Structure 1
Amino acid sequence: MERRFPDIDDRIEPPHKIAALAELLQEEGVAASRLLEGSGIEPEQLYAPATRVAPRQLLTVYENALRLSHDPGVAIKAGKRIRITHFGMYGYALLSSPTPRDAIDFAIKYRALAATLLGLRFEETERDAFWEFSDVLSLGARSELFRFVLEFQLGTQLSVHGDIFGRPVTPTEVRVTYAAPRHAPAYQDLLGCPVRFGQDHNQLRFSHDLLEQQLAFANPATAAVVRQTCDQMLTELKAASGMAGKVFNMLMVQPGRFPDIETVARQLHMTSRTLRRKLQAQDTSYQAILNNVRKQLAMDYLRKTRMSTEDIAASLGFSDAPNFRQAFKKWTGTTPSDFRASSR
């Protein structure tokens, strides 16, 4: 199964990929300021905890690296410098996954938290297993920029696999759709396996035996707790990005007077069918966004005001207080009164 990710202009990713490139180019004598030209990112922001970058900014930096670096293997090398801890809670959830298949399922379901630039799916056969990467941003499957993005991803995948298993993991083969570049001979040294160019798909392939091996830091209890946090992060990300973010913001400014999807679609100058399709591409829906808005407002009212449960229910468009209490418990696992008491 392949999932999409937030809009190309949403600033959601820490700049660790750019920092890895900047360090490598600095070793070549290229200043970070040159690498960052046109991206809207300043060198001092690369290591600031609050910095977030958008996919479009990342692509601008990649284009600069293509032009500035004299090392044709720079993308793979930079990708191999990315560690699983760079991905925060998403990374810790992968690291603590009980089994390889659990880690794979999580990686795909929550991949928006990693903000990759490629489509991603996983398949297994009796003999092997493979990740497949696709050009969902229409960069041009045979363009230099797509090649750079894929090389970076291949390096990152190998590094992350090594972190999860607690040892280096060697693929059996890499397949790519583009023709062999000038630095093709370096691929096998950098990736540790044969590489086939001009194929039908972009794949990183492993022995099927890898799926039966134990993970170095498997911890089901930790994984369950961390995944709850990732659930909340994913919900917040969907609410803040792309078309879902626009709908969320429109509903937040009209508490108690929530428009229906047809009204929202008209305000966004599209049909409700188009809006539904765009929201579905972000793995969400109008009703899910409305529920999240109501949840956020309800928690704010309970924390910050003395409004009664009945008044909160009415302000959020519920027909009565019991319906509101039932919905709130479904959203949060607790009752409004217990939530208010714990927030004091």
Structure 2
Amino acid sequence: MSMTDTPPLGTASIAALRQYVRAAGHKGIDTTPLLTRAGLDLSSGHSDDERIDGERFQRFIRLLVEATDNPILGLETGDFVQPGSYTVLGYITMSCATLGEAIQYIIPYEKLVGDMGLTRFLLDGDRMHLIWQCAYNDPWVRPQMIDNVIASWIQYARWLSDDADTSPEAVHLERRSPGAALESAYRERWGCPVVFEAADNRVIASRTLLERPLRQPDPGLRRTLEAHARSQMAAITADTALLTRVREAIRQQLLQGVSRQDIVAGQLHMTARTLQRKLSQEGSSYQSLLDEVRQSLAEDFLCHTRMAIPDIALRLGFSEPASFHRRFKRNTGVTPGDYRTTHSHTPATD
């Protein structure tokens, strides 16, 4: 699916990725080849608060869904949530006195976990509502991401309050039902009715849960961690802006048939060396962003234009069509021609 007409997915923490890897490992699934295909690497001891590209994170989840053929993968990954899954936000919530105090930190600091979506909190009489809007757009990934976030919330709240019986009154999911036979897995885990194809994703619970005491309150530690979180938020905001600007500059160049790092750097008022250093600090590189934008544009050209495949290869800066074919098949598992046949309603002569 083409991402060129949707907002960039920003970044995600290594910790968010590790939750999926732990869940897969529990099932005996080797995620190393999937991580490689997604352009990710967990082999060199990255810290949990390091960032990965959101598009690559989404691609890894897509590959994991395809490899497992599991309609409730996201639900099951919620079983593997840990305080570290939420980076410093997890440790802030651990040090809060009540569940309500912990919840108030989700909205201002959820970006530390990743740019996967946005949370809202509402009080309505004797009930509270936690509502989550998913930013991920791949139709295979989105329902699993929604399940993961909601399942992780509920599991983590139970852990924080040291009460495995803590349950919502209801959960609403915008995703379609995975099938009647699998719906019971949601009710058994969450202990409440679950509504599928709802208007949004929300957890509805008794307002009294806000006063539920947590196991390890530590106001002094919480204040220290919050200062650290504010510092990380400022850095992430600047980093995401840089990656977004570089992606857009590369995209505009490729649409004109060129792809030069020195031109992109000049547009951002820095040298190519400075640009590469700044991207490296964010765990990225010019080449990785170029590859990402090339793939996105290739899918878009194949789906929505009649442009011949050799012309697409030339437009994207490949020296010969064979190189484009090899790269595209490595990324998607199919040739450009097969991809066009499957995804496009606009036939072309290749």
Give the aligned partner of residue 254 of structure 1.
none
| Cα distance, 1:157 vs structure 2 | 0.8
1:212 is aligned to 2:211: yes
What is the aligned counterpart of 1:161 among 157, 160, 168?
A: 157
Q: Which runs of 5+ in 1 are unaligned?
A: 1-5, 248-265, 270-344
Q: Distance in 2 between matches of 1:245 and 1:9?
A: 8
What is the aligned counterpart of 2:47 among 46, 49, 56?
A: 49
| Cα distance, 1:98 vs structure 2 | 3.3
Give the aligned partner of residue 30 of structure 2.
31
Q: Distance in 1 between matches of 2:135 and 2:27?
A: 32
| Cα distance, 1:185 vs structure 2 | 3.0
On the 8 A contact 1:22/1:35 being kept in 2, the answer is no
Give the aligned partner of residue 13 of structure 1.
13
Instruction: Give the letter aligned to residue 149 of structure 2.
Output: Q
| Cα distance, 1:52 vs structure 2 | 3.5
| Cα distance, 1:119 vs structure 2 | 1.9
Instruction: Give the letter aligned to residue 8 of structure 1.
Output: L
Compared CA separation, residues 174 and 92, structure 1 to 2 (3 A):
same
| Cα distance, 1:224 vs structure 2 | 1.5
| Cα distance, 1:115 vs structure 2 | 0.9
Matches within 5 A, 1:115-134: 115-134=114-133
Q: Distance in 1 between matches of 2:20 and 2:113?
A: 17
| Cα distance, 1:71 vs structure 2 | 3.6
Compared CA separation, residues 147 and 41, structure 1 to 2 (3 A):
same
On the 8 A contact 2:38/2:56 being kept in 1, the answer is yes
Q: TM-score, normalised by structure 2?
A: 0.61
Matches within 5 A, 1:190-201: 190-201=189-200
Compared CA separation, residues 65 and 207, structure 1 to 2 (3 A):
same
On the 8 A contact 1:77/1:190 being kept in 2, the answer is no
Deviation string 1:108-152 (CA, Å, 9 cap, x unpaired) is 111111114122111111121121111334x17xx3321111011
Q: Distance in 1 between matches of 2:10 and 2:146?
A: 20
Give the aligned partner of residue 187 of structure 1.
186
Which secondary structure does the structure 2 equivalent of 1:214 belong to?
coil
On the 8 A contact 1:75/1:152 being kept in 2, the answer is yes
Compared CA separation, residues 156 and 221, structure 1 to 2 (3 A):
same
Matches within 5 A, 1:72-91: 72-91=71-90
Compared CA separation, residues 176 and 38, structure 1 to 2 (3 A):
same
Aligned length: 240
Q: Distance in 2 between matches of 1:166 and 1:205?
A: 20
| Cα distance, 1:246 vs structure 2 | 6.2
Compared CA separation, residues 98 and 246, structure 1 to 2 (3 A):
farther
Q: TM-score, normalised by structure 1?
A: 0.62
RMSD: 2.9
Instruction: Give the letter aligned to residue 181 of structure 1.
Output: P
Q: Which runs of 5+ in 2 are unaligned?
A: 1-6, 247-265, 270-350
The structure with the larger Rg is 1
Deviation string 1:13-55 (CA, Å, 9 cap, x unpaired) is 12x343333343345443212432521123524x543764222
On the 8 A contact 1:238/1:244 being kept in 2, the answer is no
On the 8 A contact 1:120/1:134 being kept in 2, the answer is yes
| Cα distance, 1:214 vs structure 2 | 1.7
On the 8 A contact 1:95/1:163 being kept in 2, the answer is no
Deviation string 1:169-209 (CA, Å, 9 cap, x unpaired) is 31111111233222323221233321011221211121111
Give the aligned partner of residue 279 of structure 1.
none
Instruction: Give the letter aligned to residue 151 of structure 1.
Output: D
| Cα distance, 1:161 vs structure 2 | 1.1
Q: Distance in 1 between matches of 2:16 and 2:105?
A: 21
Which secondary structure does the structure 1 equivalent of 2:13 belong to?
coil
Residue identity (%):
17
Compared CA separation, residues 106 and 165, structure 1 to 2 (3 A):
same
On the 8 A contact 2:168/2:191 being kept in 1, the answer is yes
Q: Distance in 2 between matches of 1:209 and 1:154?
A: 20
Q: Distance in 1 between matches of 2:206 and 2:53?
A: 35
